[in-house]
Each structure stands twice: as structure tokens, then as C-alpha cells.
Amino acid sequence: MSFTLAIVGRPNVGKSTLFNRLVGKRLALVDDQPGVTRDLREGEARLGDLRFTVIDTAGLEEATDESLQGRMRKLTERAVGMADACLFLIDARAGVLPADEIFAEILRRKSAHVILAANKAEGAASDAGVLECYALGLGDPVRISAEHGEGMGDLYAALAPLVEEAEAREIEEAAPETDVDVQDDDEDTGPRVPTRAKPLQIAVVGRPNAGKSTLVNAILGEDRLLTGPEAGITRDAISVVLDWQQTPVRIFDTAGMRKKAKVQDKVEKLSVGDALRAIKFAEVVVVLLDGQAPFETQDLKIADLAEREGRAVVVAVNKWDLEEDRQEKLKALKEEFARALPQLRGAPLVTVSALTGRGLDRLHDAVMSAYAVWNRRISTARLNRWLAGMLELHPPPAPGGRRIKLRYMTQVKTRPPGFVVMASNPEKLPESYRRYLVNGLREDFDMPGTPIRLTFRAQGDQNPFRTKKKKTPSRLRKHLGKGPLGG
């Protein structure tokens, strides 16, 4: 998009609500309490025939120090600097507050184009607040209601000249495309090469304060996401599109996921739901562990969730720069990984330092390797030759004295690899035998770590006469008809 609009204003004036309306989807978390949004979120907006990029920002705070609010303000000011225009949102029901006057002065200095909008302006209760907006000296306020969609025509009239001017200049800037709109119409097609139009989708997940945002910033090479020592800073699943070592990827930075019993706050529940959605539609999930306390119970649950969703999984241990005896620690980590997550046996385990950037090359290689295995397809002929060898080595059980027969095997899908085996009495086949075949597939076809779906279907005797009734010969029917019992 050639034109970029940043929505700014105090906390809880309706910025995220307006953002969702402009992009046409509920991408940003919305709640009544102030300060829900903390990171910058970009999306492709549509307003009539106008097409532009819109940025949802954190609420402007008066803090200027290195506190969380101060860092949020710096990130918002950065969005103001990179945008072509700013939409300054005022709560019409609350009126113009002293903080609004301070921020109006800041916008007047930092942005060439500022559009003043009075939100929550439905009804007569907001008339006084709309009139107060004129005192800010930013021109006539646009009266809108982001929640109800009122005033969008007036907003269109204010934006149209700026968008048309930007298109006329034909600015060719390679701005990163960032949103959380995940492609949810993926079909099970086979391997594909990631492209800019359809990049490889990676979700970075883990417990709070594991360093997820810092890791994504290290991959980007800039402080794009809000970070800090506080746990639980990230709330939205923010995604960024970039070329990671010549590979087009969309990386999702997700909120930290705590134990379900500890999640009481409504906003945190929304954040976890957003993170779960990112896992569901990602292709590769990077489970980031805190190197100071790896493989906690919650880490195992998150990794197991990614496996059950059928995603390719890479386990990354962060804060490796703080370790002293690294060889012994790495050996212990691999042993713990094999013991705690047998369903992901063979999945890549890499050590990284998001703070220093070390290990990012290994992480990229592990992600691409896991993605390749996730897309692997095996021919039916190879599978059936392999199945014959497995049956000879370890035949299926014989419940009730009748041995279960496995007649035929084929791969029906990829991403993750899915196989179907035609069998007699599949319901009597024990789970241990299914694990035997799954482990054999991993080892013999080099598919470590990736989820494997193995299904058994019933296939009885193919004798075509089994279900047909025997017919009495016509001559015998005539003879029976003439007997003493006939007709």
C-alpha cells in the first residue's frame, strides 16, 4: 500500500475498534479496560474505493522514561514518524482532556497531515465533546462511531485527497506487510516453495518472558516489537512478513501462555485465544523455552498442543548466552526432550540467544528442515514394500485366534503426513502396534519430529459372491412345484 494511516490517541478511545472496522476483520483485541493494545499492528484497510495501510497503535501515555508506558509511547511515536498521515482519535463523550492537548501539540510537530476524529459520537450526549475538539486547532473534527459504523462517509471525504495524492506520487517503498490475517484455506497439496505472496508461516510460542518478542526483533534486525523485563508484555498475535535468509516468511509473535488455572483476566484470555489461533494456522511452530528453566510442565503442554494441531515443531532454547557449562547442559536437554516429548522424537532442538543474535542461522535451518519433512510424500509402492517388511519382522496380533491382516497402505495427505492402512478388524488392533508402525515410518523414511497421522480402515474379504443369495435352478423349481407340497 502506498498510503499509510496511523490511528493514535489516548487509551480506550476506540482505536482498535476503528482498526477492525477499517480492515473488515476482528484482528485487534478489543476490551473496555484501557491499555489493551501495546504493539503496532498493521492491516490492509478498505474504505469505499480507497485502499491503504492502517496502523493500530498503543494509547499515548504521558510517561517518557524507560517504563512500560514510556516504551509504548516511543513505539507509537515511531509509528507516527513512518506514517503518511495520522488519525487523532478523541473520546467525544469524555471531551478534550489535558492529555489530548499535549498529544495534539506533539502530532502538530511530528506529522504533516493530522485528521482529527471525535469517536463515540453517536447521540446528543457527545455534542459538547465534539465542540471542544475545535479548540485543539487541528481543523474540523470528523464525527464518527467506530463501534456502530457511523460517520464513515465523512472519514472517507477527509482521507480521499491524501490517498489520491500518495498514489499520484507513486511512492515505491518496501514497507513490511504486517497483520494477523492467517491464510485459513490451505489445502493438502504437497511441497511448495514459500513466496512473497504466500510466505512460510511461523508461530513463536512459549511461556511468558521466554524472549519471544526479543527473538522476533533479532530476526528482523530492528526493535519492531515491544520488549522488556516484565512478563506478559505481548498481548496480540503480531505478525511480520520479511525475507529471512532469502526465505519469505510471516513470523507471528504470540502472547505468553500460562497455566489455564492462572489465567483469570479477560484480556489475557483473549490473548491466549489469539495465540492458539496463530498455532492452528501456522505451518511451523517454534516452541521457545527459557534456558534457565526449560521443559516446565507448561512448555510440554504447548509443544503437545502444536503436535496435536499437526504443525511442524522446532524447539528452541533461549538465553543460551547465560549458560556456562553448555555441553553438559545441551546433553541434559536432549535427554529430557526425548523423555518428556516422545511424540516429537527427533524434532529439531536448537540453542539461541535472542539478546545477542547467536544461533539464528541454526534456527533458520531447523525451521526449513522441519518444514520439508512436514511436506514429505512417499510413493504407494515404497510404502507397501516397507509394510511387508514390517509385517514380516513383527506380525500383527491374532485376537480370538484370527490374525489381523494389513493388506494395503497409501499416503492420503501431507502437512502433516497422513497414511491409511486397509486392515481386517482394525478396531481390534492395539495402540502399541500403531506406535510401532509410526516409529518405523519416522526412522525408515527420515521423518523425525513431524506429526504423523496413521489411520486403519476396515477391508473385508473381496469375494464378490459372499453377500449374494444362492438361486434355485429353474428346473428344480418346476419339479418342486409339481410335488405333493407344490402349488
Domains, the chain, ordered by start: 4-174 (3.40.50.300), 200-258+270-374 (3.40.50.300), 380-458 (3.30.300.20)
Q: Residue 175's pLDDT is what?
A: 38
More confident residue, 483 or 120: 120
Alpha carbon distance 45, 310 (integer Å): 32
Full-model pTM: 0.70
Least confident stretch, 174-188, 231-245, 319-333, 447-461: 174-188
**Cβ partners under 8 Å of residue 402, min gap 6:** 425
Q: Residue 400's pLDDT is what?
A: 84
The cell for 451 is 506429526
Q: Can you list the alpha helix ranges (DSSP code H) found in 127-247? A: 127-132, 152-169, 212-220
Q: Residue 461's pLDDT is what?
A: 47
**Known binding-site positions:** 9-16, 56-60, 119-122, 206-213, 253-257, 318-321
Name residue 155's amino acid.
L
Alpha carbon distance 235, 253 (integer Å): 9
pLDDT band of 485, cuts 50, 70, 90: very low
62 has pLDDT over 70: no
Residue in this structure with the C-alpha cell 484497510, named with its chain if needed: 45
Percent of the chain predicted with pLDDT > 70? 79
Residue in this structure with the C-alpha cell 505451518, named with its chain if needed: 283
CA dist 2 to 75, 85, 369, Å? 21, 12, 36
pLDDT band of 55, cuts 50, 70, 90: confident
Q: What H or E segment, with its residue span, contains residue 351?
A: strand 349-351
Top-confidence range, 108-122, 124-138, 266-280, 431-445? 431-445
Q: Residue 170's pLDDT is what?
A: 46
pLDDT mean across residues, the chain: 82
Q: Which residues of 450-479 are buried (b: 16+ CB within 10 A; e: fewer)?
A: bbbeeebeeeeeeeeeeeeeeeeeeeeeee
pLDDT band of 280, cuts 50, 70, 90: confident
pLDDT band of 123, cuts 50, 70, 90: confident
Three-state secondary structure readout of 414-437: CCCCEEEEEECCHHHCCHHHHHHH
181 has pLDDT over 80: no
**CA-closest candidate to residue 119, choices 85, 142, 98:** 142
**pLDDT single digits (tens) 357-377:** 999 999 999 999 999 999 999
**Known binding-site positions for GTP:** 9-16, 56-60, 119-122, 206-213, 253-257, 318-321
pLDDT band of 470, cuts 50, 70, 90: low
Average pLDDT over residues 74-102: 85
**Cβ partners under 8 Å of residue 198, min gap 6:** 183, 192
Q: What H or E segment, with its residue span, contains residue 302?
A: helix 297-308
Q: Can you list the alpha helix ranges (DSSP code H) found in 148-296? A: 152-169, 212-220, 266-281
319 has pLDDT over 90: yes
Q: Strand, helix or coil at 49?
A: coil
